[in-house]
């Protein structure tokens, strides 16, 4: 079956199902949200003065369907499906970002199982890919959505903090042959006025029985019209303490000029000077810096249409022959994103 045929049939099935269920949504709430998201870009990529043909031209970047609802007052479910990621070489669920059940017996505890985001990153990692215009080298080389389970605890009644313990398949697991590898994460998500956090400590198997340790510190500051995100991740293989030798740092400053206009500047730095195998996202010998900025314009009041334009430049050493970022690489990108909220 051709990928486009599979995508069309899945989209039709989801739409018909949601439409039928929506007829009784006031009583069941089985589906309380159905939305399609689409993003298309025109891009020009250069390495030095040479144009990169594969990175230039019109690009259909994302085509997502989001569904969520409640089976019971305490049991909810959520799905995000990418309809542009089917291929003969991939498993059907490779195009599923998440698909999970969440059971919340009390206000302080919740239990989730299914395919979900692996809690190994900060704010760049946590943001929906459709809202990422350019990213760090680490972001491009991690598979963030895996099957697993998690338990979360929310202390008190204010809801300012959430602690989550999670076990999933390892993001570095391969399929040929399929390997039995896991990831273990402990996350603190905090919201304290102007300061928000996504802090985690993680153990990921990069080979059976061999682990890489992540400490990820994601911080966000909300200062009026300014929104600042600062992420730092340190990585170490097999009980070694490589402080600042294998790490990634990302910073972004966004300014809300008006209800319709948002401008931003962003920088990232990825380095691995350990000369030790194990980090499969930023390979030994890599040291890359990327800077750039852009603008987002929302012409409609409900912000269901977004126009964007951005530019980024990268320099440094790339040791991964299949890596995304390259020395003296510049990318110009303009595009449009639109949401179609069928049920909201």
What is the Rg, in whole angstroms, of the alpha carbon atoms belonging to the chain?
21
Mean pLDDT score of the chain: 90
Does some domain include residue 19? no
pLDDT at 312: 98
pLDDT at 162: 97
Q: Which residue has the tokens 């990302």?
A: 250
Does some domain include residue 68? no
Q: Shortest CA distance to 133 belongs to which of 47, 270, 254?
A: 254
Does some domain include residue 18? no
Does some domain include residue 137? yes
Query: Are β-strands 57-72 and 33-47 bridged in parallel, bridged antiparallel, or unpaired?
Result: antiparallel
Q: How confident is the model at residue 316 (pLDDT cuts 50, 70, 90)?
A: very high
Mean pLDDT of the region 93-122 = 94
Q: CATH number, domain at 332?
A: 2.40.160.10
Mean pLDDT of the region 240-247 = 83
181 Cβ partners below 8 Å, 6+ apart? 169, 170, 172, 173, 205, 206, 207, 208
How many residues are listed for the chain in this entry? Answer: 344
Share of the chain above pLDDT 70, in %: 87
Does some domain include residue 189? yes
pLDDT at 93: 78
Q: Rounded to 5 degrees, what are φ and ψ at 57? A: 110, -170
Does some domain include residue 9? no
Q: How confident is the model at residue 156 (pLDDT cuts 50, 70, 90)?
A: confident
Q: Which domain holds residue 156?
A: 43-54+103-337
> How many Cβ atoms from other residues are within 10 Å of residue 4's Cβ?
11
Please calculate the CA angle 55-57-63 and round it to the nearest 5 degrees.
Answer: 85
How far apart (Å, rounded) are the C-alpha atoms in residues 224 and 139? 28
pLDDT at 329: 98
Taking 70 as the threshold, does the pLDDT of residue 16 lie above it?
A: no
How far apart (Å, rounded) are the C-alpha atoms in residues 129 and 135? 10
Does some domain include residue 239? yes
Taking 90 as the threshold, does the pLDDT of residue 70 lie above it?
A: yes
Per-residue pLDDT of 160-215, as tens digits, reads 999 999 999 999 976 555 678 999 999 999 999 999 999 999 999 999 999 999 99
pLDDT at 17: 53
Output the pTM of the full model: 0.90
The answer to whether residues 168 and 146 touch, using CB atoms and an 8 Å cutoff, is: yes
The answer to whether residues 169 and 146 touch, using CB atoms and an 8 Å cutoff, is: yes
The answer to whether residues 125 and 173 touch, using CB atoms and an 8 Å cutoff, is: no
How far, in Å, are 76, 197, 217, 250 from residue 222 at the CA level?
A: 30, 12, 17, 17
Q: How confident is the model at residue 344 (pLDDT cuts 50, 70, 90)?
A: confident
Q: In this structure, what DSSP letter does residue 282 have?
A: S
Taking 50 as the threshold, does the pLDDT of residue 25 lie above it?
A: no
Helix (H) or strand (E) holding 25: helix 25-28
pLDDT, greater one: 43 or 2? 43
How far apart (Å, rounded) are the C-alpha atoms in residues 248 and 218? 11
How far apart (Å, rounded) are the C-alpha atoms in residues 146 and 112? 13
Say which range, 3-7, 169-173, 272-276, has the weakest mean pLDDT: 3-7
Q: Which residue has the tokens 């928000």?
A: 196
How far apart (Å, rounded) are the C-alpha atoms in residues 70 and 16? 18
pLDDT at 4: 47
pLDDT at 266: 98
Q: Shortest CA distance to 288 belongs to which of 325, 322, 320, 259?
A: 325
pLDDT at 159: 84
How far apart (Å, rounded) are the C-alpha atoms in residues 36 and 79? 12
pLDDT, greater one: 149 or 84? 149
pLDDT, greater one: 175 or 141? 141
Say which range, 74-88, 134-148, 189-203, 268-282, has the weakest mean pLDDT: 74-88
Per-residue pLDDT of 219-238, as tens digits, reads 999 999 999 999 999 999 87
Residue 183 burial (C-beta neighbours within 10 Å; 0-12, 13-18, 19+): buried
Provide DSSP, 208-235: TTEEEEEEEEEEEEEETTEEEEEEEEEE
pLDDT at 92: 65
236 Cβ partners below 8 Å, 6+ apart? 212, 213, 242, 246
Mean pLDDT of the region 117-127 = 95
Taking 90 as the threshold, does the pLDDT of residue 135 lie above it?
A: yes
Does some domain include residue 280? yes
175 beta partners: 178
Mean pLDDT of the region 98-118 = 97
**Total of domains in the chain:** 1
Q: Which residue has the tokens 């479910």?
A: 77
Assigned token pair, 327: 């020395």
218 beta partners: 198, 231
């Amino acid at each position: 079956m051709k990928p486009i045929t599979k995508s069309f049939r899945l989209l039709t099935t989801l739409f018909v199902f949601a439409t039928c269920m929506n007829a009784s949504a006031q009583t069941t709430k089985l589906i309380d949200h159905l939305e399609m998201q689409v993003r298309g870009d025109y891009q020009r990529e250069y390495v030095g003065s040479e144009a990169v043909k594969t990175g230039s031209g019109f690009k259909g970047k994302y085509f997502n369907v989001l569904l969520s609802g409640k089976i019971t007052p305490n049991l909810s479910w959520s799905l995000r499906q990418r309809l542009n990621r089917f291929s003969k070489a991939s498993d059907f669920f490779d195009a599923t970002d998440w698909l999970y059940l969440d059971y919340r017996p009390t206000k302080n505890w919740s239990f989730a199982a299914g395919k979900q985001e692996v809690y190994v990153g900060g704010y760049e990692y946590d943001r929906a890919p459709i809202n990422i215009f350019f990213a760090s080298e680490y972001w491009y080389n991690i598979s963030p959505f895996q099957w697993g389970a998690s338990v979360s605890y929310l202390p008190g009644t204010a809801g300012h903090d959430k602690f989550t313990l999670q076990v999933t398949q390892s993001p570095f697991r391969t399929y040929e042959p399929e390997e039995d590898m896991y990831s273990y994460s402990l996350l603190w998500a905090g919201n304290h006025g102007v300061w928000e956090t996504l802090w985690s400590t993680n153990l990921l198997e990069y080979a059976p029985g061999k682990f890489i340790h992540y400490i990820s510190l994601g911080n966000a500051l909300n200062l009026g019209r300014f929104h600042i995100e600062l992420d730092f991740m340190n990585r170490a293989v097999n009980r070694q303490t490589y402080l600042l030798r294998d790490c990634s740092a990302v910073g972004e400053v966004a300014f809300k000029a008006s209800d319709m206009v948002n401008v931003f500047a962003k920088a990232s730095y990825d380095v691995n000077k350990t000369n030790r195998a194990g980090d499969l996202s930023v390979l030994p010998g890599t040291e890359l810096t990327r800077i750039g900025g852009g603008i987002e314009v929302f012409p409609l009041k409900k912000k269901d249409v977004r126009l964007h334009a951005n530019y980024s430049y990268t320099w440094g050493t790339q040791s991964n022959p299949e890596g995304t970022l390259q020395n003296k690489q510049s990318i110009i990108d303009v595009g449009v994103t639109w949401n179609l909220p069928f049920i909201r």
